[in-house]
Structures are given as structure tokens and as C-alpha cells.
Amino acid sequence: MRKLIGIASLLVILTGCEKDQGYSISGKAEGIENGKMVYISEVKELNQRPARIDSTVIENGKFEADLTDIENPNLSALEVEGINGMVLFISENENIDFTIYKDSIQASKKKGGKQNELLNEYLDHYQSINKEGSKLGAEMRMAYQSQDSTKLETLQNTQKEIIENDKLFKMQIAQENKDSFIAIMAIMDLLRAQQPPIKEIKELYESLSDQVKSTPYGEMIGKQLETMNATEIGSDAPDFSGPTPDGEELALADAMGKVTIIDFWAAWCKPCRQENPNVVKVYNKYHDKGLNIISVSLDKPNEKDKWLKAIEDDGLVWNHVSNLKFWDEPIAKKYGIRAIPATFIIDENGVIVDRDVRGEEALDKRIGELLAAE
């Protein structure tokens, strides 16, 4: 049920446009000593820790602060001196009221402002989905252990229904909140789950207000969608070049055959290494008929020796390139790679005809079909 969990650390980027009514916070600090500082922060750059913009002090178990009115709501956070963790919320021109718990800051509550109410609704959905998923997962394990195939099939159908309902919920959220960051959050989760098709997700994104799309998260999704669209089946494979194990530069165009597999992997990637024998068998069978492979490694800096050893140990006798930059590998970024192994199959014209075909039988069948059609 991982796809239902989504990107939990970003669940609070749900904002929108409100009439200016004044931005302030207040709250209770349950069990927290007087004199402790409460820091107000906001996210100024994507993937960066929230930056502190103001502070207030706890007095008689309470705190409050009047803040500078904002033009656009933003992802923000409260931190309490001496307590690990933070309470995430949406800054908007309303009074936002908090109840902070010393021993469980993650369970702290907030209310006030349309966008924070929307945030709470979205979080409630996640909690419900995760609860259903956990219960279903336990029941599926029991059915599997008892070899109750009828029960397992019923539970699998239930799982599909939950996933489908979750998808529809997120699509509805995006459709009905075009001026809100909640639409961005919903689209991010749809992308993570890889459903519905990229074309439909892109249409949802394009329907959002310019204000939302111009936020750091909105711009990030726009770039991600552009990359994913460029690597959809039927698109021209993005060109690239990279250093070979010998230190020379090799371009995709120089490594292509009648059919070419672009394989993203790494020596440290166990699933990649488990799949390699299947790829080797298919390569040995079809190379003389026109199959070429170029592997792009996401191995880590200063670990070239591990990359070379894995090539030798696994018998990968085709073309290899890597900048040895781990997840910052520029070729992987160009192809929108977020997990490996990942493969793209292209024809002799460089058009992507399939992707992520795994297993000896499936890969053998697909490559055989493509070469027969040449």
C-alpha cells in the first residue's frame, strides 16, 4: 500500500488565495514551561529546511504573535525551543490557533483559515487510507500464509478499490481547488502513484492558476511533468552522452542498434543485480540480430571500482556510461529516473517503444517482437 501513503513530508503544502484579514497565530502549549520560545518558520526554497521569520514566548501555557500580512499563503512551521520536531501549517491571512503537545508534537492540532481546514481534511483522508491499508495488509498476509486463495483474491480486489478511490479523491481535489496548493499536493501524489496517465495529470496541472504553478512546488511539478512527457512511449528518447569506464565520451546515438535498451542501474542496487542475468541472456540471444544495450550507472562518487567490478562480475559486455554522481546523475535526471532498475527500449530511429520490461521471458518476447518487425 505504499502508493497510498504518498509523500508524507509534503502533505502540508496545501495553500490558496484568501482575502486579506490579517495573519496571526495563537495557541496553548500543553506541558511546556513558561519562557520557552516558539519559532515561526516558512519554506523559502524547495528541499530546504524552513527559515525562521519570527518568534514569540510561552507565557502561562499560551503564546500568540501578530505577523506581517502575506500576499500568498505558504508552507510554514512552528518549532518550540528544546523540543524536536515541528508543527507544519499553511500561512494565510487569518488567525491560526494551535494546541501544542510537549510529548507528542506531531499530534499537535491547528485550526483557522480555509486552507488549514482543507489541509486537515486532506490529512484525515490520508489517515483513513493508511488505516485501511494497514488492516488490509495484515489480512492479506494471513490469507497468504494460510494459502486461502479465495480470500486473498477478494482482498486484492478490495485493495484495487481503495487505490482507485484514493486516485479519484486526489483528482477531485485538484479539479475543485485550482487556486490552492492542495491541488499541487494531489498532483504530486498522483505522479508518485503513476496514475492516471501522464497526459491526464498534465491536464490537471495546466488547469491550475498561474499563482499556484509559479510556486517552488508548482515549478518543480511542471519540470517533472515535462521530463516524464519527454520519456513517454512514442516520444523521441532524449539524447545524452557520458564517460565510459575508460574515460572516453560515448553518446547514445553512437551506441544504438536496430533495437536498443537504455538501462539505468547501479552496483549497489540489489534488484538491478538480480535482473542482470535476464538482460545478459536476452543480449546474448539477440545482439547478433541487432540488439544493443547502453547501461547508465547511478554509482556513487569515488566508487568507480565497485561499478567496474559489478560490470565484470555480472558479465555485462555492452556499452556503459556514468558520471558517478549517485542520484545526481545528469542522464538519470534527464530521463526522470526516481527508482532503479529502470529501462527504456528504443527503435532504430530513437523512438521509445516500451519501458520497464523485466524478467527473461517478458524481455525475450518483447525484443523478439521488435526485431521481427524491423
pLDDT tens digits for range 189-236? 898 887 788 888 999 999 999 988 888 778 888 988 888 778 888 889
- Joined together, the cell numbers standing for residue 371 give 526485431
Instruction: Please state whether 338 falls in left (phi above 0), alpha (psi between -120 and 50) or beta.
Output: alpha
Confidence at residue 50, expressed as pLDDT on a 0 to 100 scale: 81
Euclidean distance between CA atoms 223 and 217, whole angstroms:
10
* Each residue's pLDDT tens digit, 280-338: 999 999 999 999 999 999 999 999 999 999 999 999 999 999 999 999 999 999 998 98
Task: Flag whether pLDDT at 103 surpasses 70.
Answer: yes
**241-373: in CATH 3.40.50.2300:** no
Query: Where do the CATH 2.60.40.10 domains begin and end in the chain?
Result: 10-111
User: SS3 of 128, please?
Assistant: helix
State the pLDDT confidence band at 90, using cuts at 50, 70 and 90. confident
Of 256, 244, 249, 199, nearest in space to 225 by CA: 199
Mean pLDDT of the chain: 88
Delimiting residues of CATH 3.40.30.10 domain(s) in the chain: 241-373
Looking at per-residue pLDDT, the higher value among 347 and 126 belongs to: 347
How confident is the model at residue 181, as a pLDDT? 79
More confident residue, 144 or 49: 144
pTM, two decimals, is: 0.63
The pLDDT of residue 45: 66
Instruction: Report the alpha-carbon distance of residue 167 to residue 204 in Å, rounded.
Output: 13
Whole-number Å distance between alpha carbons of 372 and 346: 14
Other C-beta atoms closer than 10 Å to the C-beta of 289 total 14
* Interval 256-289: pLDDT, tens: 999 999 999 999 999 999 999 999 999 999 999 9
Distance (Å, whole) CA 177 – CA 17: 10
Percent of the chain with pLDDT over 70: 93
Q: Where are the alpha helices (DSSP H) in the chain?
A: 2-5, 114-145, 149-176, 181-193, 198-206, 210-213, 216-230, 270-286, 304-314, 330-334, 360-373
In terms of phi and psi (left: phi > 0; alpha: psi -120 to 50; beta: otherwise), the region of 247 is: left
Domain 10-111 classification at class level: mainly beta
Q: Strands 319-321, 37-42: parallel, antiparallel or unpaired by DSSP?
A: unpaired
- Residue 141 CB: number of other CB atoms within 10 A? 12
